[in-house]
């Protein structure tokens, strides 16, 4: 296969977060691979504000919103065949993904299969959403010996209460109610131990619908693209 597949991270929402490398590879590409139609694709909507892509050819791949492994496996195999067919034509392909392609991105499932079939692949880093969220909030994610835990919020989260340091809950929108209940219980327990629970969140970071929340009281609702940051701090004694 003479072509190459680029998995390009386009950042969380603000087109200013696009890297020079991402812009260059998008401009060089023959075809854009999208996980949804242009109008619904977050990544494409971000890119079009910074790169002239209106005339570029696009191909929408199928990524079912399900956790059923058999359904996902079949879709990924079909996607890989489509991509390899394009690579055999010598095409330079740019798969656009929000954030960074190495952080909970569907792109990785595609890369693994294309690579196994002999295709050329390369990842182009993007700004992870949690880093952009921390910058928006003006807070540190980790200092000195602090641990940083990145957690997919759509799965089991109750066990994460025991984690020390900073906890980052990715794509937390659908689990906000459960997460808030858990954090309210934890807050009471932390207070007994002389600790303070600091809670922050940003929905749709960098997008026009961006919403910034400080404290558990403000964490009432948010979109699917909501990042929640929780820090446990020892209270200072006089």
pLDDT of residue 137: 95
Reported as a pLDDT band with limits 50, 70 and 90, residue 224 is confident
Question: Across residues 96-123, what is the average pLDDT?
Answer: 94
Q: State residue 67's pLDDT score.
A: 72
- Sheet of 148-152, strand order: 148-152, 166-170, 226-234, 195-203, 211-214
| pLDDT over threshold 90, residue 155 | no
pLDDT band at 116 (very low <50, low <70, confident <90, very high): very high
Residue 196, beta-bridge partner list: 233
234 has pLDDT over 80: no
Mean pLDDT throughout 93-109?
94
Tokens of 31: 């075809």
Number of other residues whose CB lies within 10 A of the CB of residue 49:
11
Q: What are phi and psi of 57, to 5 degrees?
A: -70, 145
Q: 44 is written with which tokens?
A: 């494409």
- Three-state DSSP class for residue 101: coil
Q: What is the mean pLDDT of the segment spanning 108-114?
A: 94
């Amino acid at each position: 296969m003479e072509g190459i597949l680029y998995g390009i991270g386009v950042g969380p929402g603000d087109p200013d977060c696009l890297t020079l490398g991402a812009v260059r590879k998008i401009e060089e590409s023959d075809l854009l691979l999208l996980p949804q139609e242009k109008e619904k694709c977050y990544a494409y909507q971000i890119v079009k504000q910074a790169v002239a892509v209106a005339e570029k050819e696009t191909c929408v791949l199928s990524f079912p919103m399900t956790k059923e492994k058999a359904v996902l496996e079949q879709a990924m195999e079909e996607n890989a065949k489509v991509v390899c067919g394009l690579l055999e034509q010598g095409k330079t392909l740019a798969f656009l993904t929000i954030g960074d392609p190495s952080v909970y991105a569907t792109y990785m499932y595609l890369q693994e299969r294309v690579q196994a079939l002999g295709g050329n692949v390369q990842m182009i880093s993007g700004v992870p959403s949690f880093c952009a969220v921390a910058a928006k909030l003006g807070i540190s994610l980790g200092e000195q010996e602090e641990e940083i835990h990145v957690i997919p919020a759509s799965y089991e989260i109750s066990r994460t209460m025991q984690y020390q340091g900073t906890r980052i809950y990715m794509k937390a929108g659908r689990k906000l109610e459960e997460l808030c209940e858990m954090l309210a219980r934890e807050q009471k327990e932390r207070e007994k131990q002389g600790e303070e629970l600091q809670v922050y969140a940003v929905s749709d970071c960098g997008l026009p619908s961006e919403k910034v929340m400080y404290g558990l009281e403000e964490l009432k609702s948010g979109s699917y693209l909501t990042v929640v940051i929780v820090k446990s701090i020892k209270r200072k004694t006089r």
